Amino acid sequence: MIGLAEWKMRAELAQLWQACFHEPRRYPTYFLNNYFRPEDCLVYQVHGEIAAAVYLLPARVVLSDGTAQAHYIFAAGTQPHFRSRGFMASLLAYAALYGTKRGDQYSVVLPADQPLYSYYERNCYTNYYKIRSVPVPRACLVRAGAKLPLGRSLAFPSELNGLRNSVLSQVPGSVLWSSKRFSFTAGFGSIYGDELVCSGRPGRHSYAFCRRTARDACSIREAMIFPAGFPELAAAILKRFPAERYEFRLPADQKLFLGEGTEEWCGMIRPIGGAALVTSASAPYLGLALD
């Protein structure tokens, strides 16, 4: 039986998360205590047991003349002993109907690995979002970094998310999040070792989500830059995450390091409720996907 989750299911949902993704309990606990809403979670129950679940996190997709309501498919998982019975396919089909009923026009997802792209394609999703992964040596950031005394820059999530929305609103098909979701991403990412690095001053901030991947390496999970703000952001990254090697994961058409790096698929989309696939001259970007 498919239906909405209930608050009292959180312990069982945490156990399902761990069974599917093999992560410590603190990860699902943080999500379920800080961002979970029963109306954003569908469960497939068999004899009272949750066999599978999927979260439909609210988002918006950029159109040529505004935005459309959407949801992001997150943490879709099936208990190992219930797999290969079509439960998840049924949940995804129901999610499209449920999303349409609440006003969603698009469903987006970031599959965890390449085989899952084929799985979601069989369930009506299309390869759509791209990123550009650019390896950047320390020397490059040193050359770019502002040579000035640098204190730690802080900014409200609403301002940083406003910068993000202003950049991505120029690229139809891209995904926009609420400021609450932006703030949650920063908190959730911190338990995986991410840190939100800011630079600039009020009204002119830039930011980067950074994660140390090795003693001498750092991944920039997302970076949004105020015009001419990269030197200060480079200096802030060097100070907070000193490393020899950096990898920037950028919107495919972002001007930073344009023409460098390797493009790769990073997300899929499914129009629902009669909506049409958004066409764009630039590669749409998902980002902040909690991957």
pLDDT at 290 over 90: no
pTM (two decimals): 0.94
Query: What sign does the CA torsion over 114, 266, 5, 91 have?
Result: negative
Q: What is the mean pLDDT of residues 147-166?
A: 83
Q: What is the mean pLDDT of residues 14-33?
A: 96
pLDDT at 109 over 60: yes
pLDDT at 82 over 70: yes
Joined tokens for residue 95: 């999610």
Q: Where is pLDDT greater, at 154 or 74?
A: 74
Dihedral Cα 9, 12, 16, 19, nearest 10 deg:
170
Confirm if 45 and 52 have CB atoms less than 8 A apart.
no
pLDDT score, position 147: 72
Burial class (CB in 10 A: 0-12, 13-18, 19+), 153: middle
Joined tokens for residue 16: 């399902």
pLDDT score, position 186: 94
Nearest to 253 by CA among 268, 263, 243, 240: 263
Q: How many CB atoms within 10 Å of residue 213? A: 14
Tens-digit pLDDT profile for residues 176-232: 999 999 999 999 999 999 999 999 988 899 999 999 999 999 999 999 999 999 999
pLDDT score, position 151: 61
Residue 244: partners with Cβ closer than 8 Å, 6 or more residues away: 137, 138, 216, 217
Q: Residue 42: which pLDDT band, with cuts at 50, 70 and 90?
A: very high
pLDDT at 149 over 80: no
Helices (H) and strands (E) in the chain, counts: 8, 14
Report the chain's mean pLDDT, rounded to a whole number: 95
pLDDT score, position 86: 96
Strand partners, 127: 268
Strands 106-109 and 66-78, by their bridges, are: parallel
Q: What is the mean pLDDT of residues 116-129?
A: 96
pLDDT score, position 84: 93
208, containing H or E segment: strand 206-214
Q: What is the mean pLDDT of residues 74-83?
A: 96
| Straight-line distance from the first to the last Cα atom of the chain, in angstroms, rounded to the nearest whole number | 28
Strands 268-271 and 126-127, by their bridges, are: antiparallel
Confirm if 73 and 107 have CB atoms less than 8 A apart.
yes
